[in-house]
């Protein structure tokens, strides 16, 4: 299966470089390019890419707003957004996740790292590394946000195992790492995560992270690192 990617960046030179890199992979093809957020939304609706690689700072409509519009459209549920930006601030990470992005990486990432990131996001997983960035995400998502309230009682629909998986997903662990910790298969972890997403109405694993912190299931470490189960 070939992954279809849309590039959204206001710098044509960067778009060209990313296109060459992504098209060099046998399992990835770039199907379109957008120079601003508004065009990114229009092209996503027309081309239905598997992954939208989105910059944050663009003219007219920025990447966070475009991400929110894409992720809020039920018809675009299959299109995942990967934020690729120079501005790796804690606030931008939190805003991107709340908007529905599946991942957030810096433009300093290597060639193989970008290819792997696209594959990871297309597979429905969340990319919230490095650990330092995850800790900043945790701290911001733990702050009050009246525009996106989540109450702890909504977690009642989850089984104890599903709650455990969601908690571990919130720390940034991969399916493989969670499987090793829980002594189960990665397939079992993925199944638990998928059921939790369905029950909680989460679009993807990134939204599970948001819900975990907003409901208090996972909590930010005041020293700057996210809590992990022993």
Helix and strand tally (H, E) in the chain?
10, 5
Asked: is 3-127 a CATH 3.40.190.10 domain? The reply is no
51 has which bridge partners?
Answer: 5, 80
CA distance 179 to 175: 6
Model pLDDT for residues 16-25, shown as the tens digit of each residue: 999 999 999 9
The CATH class of 147-214 is mainly alpha
Mean pLDDT in consecutive groups of 10 residues from the start of the chain, 230 residues: 96 94 96 97 98 94 96 94 81 81 84 89 75 54 55 88 92 82 92 93 79 79 40
Name the H helices within 3-62.
Answer: 12-23, 37-47
pLDDT of residue 143: 63
Domain ranges of the chain: 3-127, 147-214
**pTM summary value:** 0.70
pLDDT of residue 133: 52
pLDDT of residue 125: 77
The dihedral sign for the CA sequence 30, 119, 126, 117: negative
DSSP class of residue 108 equals: T
The set of long-range contacts for 180-183, using a CB threshold of 8 Å and a minimum separation of 24, is 181/229
CA distance 139 to 89: 12
| 49, 24 contact by CB (below 8 A) | no
Model pLDDT for residues 80-137, shown as the tens digit of each residue: 999 988 866 667 777 888 888 888 888 888 888 899 889 989 988 777 755 435 555 5
């Amino acid at each position: 299966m070939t992954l279809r990617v849309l590039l959204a960046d206001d710098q044509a030179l960067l778009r060209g470089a990313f296109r060459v890199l992504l098209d060099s992979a046998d399992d990835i093809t770039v199907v379109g390019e957008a120079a601003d957020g508004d065009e990114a939304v229009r092209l996503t609706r027309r081309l239905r890419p598997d992954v939208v690689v989105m910059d944050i700072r663009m003219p007219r409509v920025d990447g966070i707003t475009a991400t929110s519009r894409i992720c809020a459209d039920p018809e675009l549920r299959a299109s995942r957004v990967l934020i690729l930006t120079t501005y790796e601030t804690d606030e931008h990470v939190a805003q991107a996740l709340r908007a529905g992005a599946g991942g957030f990486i810096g433009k300093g990432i290597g060639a193989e790292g970008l290819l792997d990131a696209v594959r990871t996001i297309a597979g429905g997983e969340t990319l919230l590394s490095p650990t330092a960035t995850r800790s900043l995400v945790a701290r911001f998502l733990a702050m009050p946000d009246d525009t996106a309230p989540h109450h702890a009682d909504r977690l009642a629909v989850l089984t104890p195992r599903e709650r455990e998986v969601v908690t571990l997903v919130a720390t940034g662990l991969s399916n493989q790492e969670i499987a090793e910790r829980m002594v189960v298969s990665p397939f079992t972890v993925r199944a638990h995560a998928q059921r939790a997403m369905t029950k909680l109405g989460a679009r993807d694993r990134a939204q599970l992270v948001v819900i975990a912190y907003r409901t208090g299931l996972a909590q930010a470490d005041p020293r700057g690192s996210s809590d992990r189960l022993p």
